[in-house]
Amino acid sequence: MPASQRWHLMCGLTTHGAWSKADFEVVHAGAGDTIFGQYGAVRMSEETYESTLAQLLAAGLGGRHEAHIERSLWLKLAANAAINPLTALLEKNNGCILEEEQISRCKEICKEVAAVAAASWHQQGFASLCPSAAEMEDFALDTARRTSPNRSSMLQDVLAERPTEIDYLNGWLVTKARTFGLEVAENAQLTALIKEKERRFLEPKAADAGKEVSDSNAPVVLKSAVGRRQLGKAAFSTQLVGRFTMAPKEIIKKIGEDGFDMEEFKAQVYKEGCKKLHIVDVYTAWCGPCLSIVPTFKNLQMNIDYFEDRCTITQAERTCLPEFEERFPETSKPRFLFYKEGEEVMQIEGLKAPEILKFIEENLPAIETEE
């Protein structure tokens, strides 16, 4: 293909804050910075790049050229990966990131982003210096400070009950991390929490859009293209499989749901001489139970013989039991408590899947057989 007909990539990013008030009416809510640059192997000629940049600046977009835009792209990614999902979960403006609890989470998120960035730098051989976790954290907090009264785009999507960009932020980081053999537990948890929040308003909308089942063996038909798009491929597949296959017994119970109350929980966990392993996920109400570990538990159920007869899993909000409320402060980190024979035998703070799996493997009771 002649060079004049090839597609070229010119990167740009902005930290300006804006939101749509109505059709063709945009509110400029916070001043920021706009930069342009060239990235990777697909580059314009310098002449084309300079000409395009001049046209953008002449149009009143402002901004400047940056020789190593990859640094700014990763800094912006870190800021969005921290600010967007946290504000969407809390349903608060950007300034909430400056609260002590959220600063701690922001730090963990940026550490994970920095690890993925460092692996990318090594892979692509960038000439610039990879941003550190501290630089990413400083940039994220500074962005939150400068845009404190603003609503993040993800929060706006949640409030408007629209699909969010989580798959392109934290979800992308989780996928990218896997290619490098890295674990990014904080980003994985945020992705799962936002996906669950989405599910609560998208699935009812998809249902309202219209489903048609002609008989018990027919496939599910979503009449509306909007319904199909909102439900999403993963949720649609899950619903389809769940409708026509025998699902395994639900192993995870939440106190206060489906008739499972506090008295039944206490009788189950504190029963003397009970050989079962009881796992309790203690969570804070505004954050919700740990969804990232659920697939791990489901996988154990599918692959370990009689798992549900040897183990129970309960989700408990920290204020439901006075001893939990007294022991555990409000935090976004889950706490997993393990009980055997009526006694607490182990506590694991945070989503530490390898440690959790190891403890389950070592403490799962043997299968009881009849003599």
The residue from 21, 76, 233, 276 that is catalytic is 76
The secondary structure element, H or E, covering residue 144 is: helix 133-146
Positions of E strands within 101-163: none
| Closest CA relative to residue 335, chosen from 265, 269, 282, 290 | 282
Residue 290: which of 201, 191, 215 has the closest Cα? 191
Q: 């440690």: which residue's tokens?
A: 355
Give me the long-range contacts of 49-58 (CB less than 8 A, separation at least 24). 49/10, 52/10, 53/10, 56/12
**What count of other Cβ atoms lies within 10 Å of the Cβ of residue 166?**
24
> Is 117 within 8 Å of 133 (Cβ atoms)?
no
Does 249 participate in catalysis according to the annotation? no
Residue 113 near residue 309 (C-beta atoms within 8 A):
no
Contacts of 167 (CB under 8 A, 6+ apart): 191
Which residue in this structure is represented by tokens 């538990």? 297
Structure tokens of 156?
């706006």
Residues with catalytic function: 76
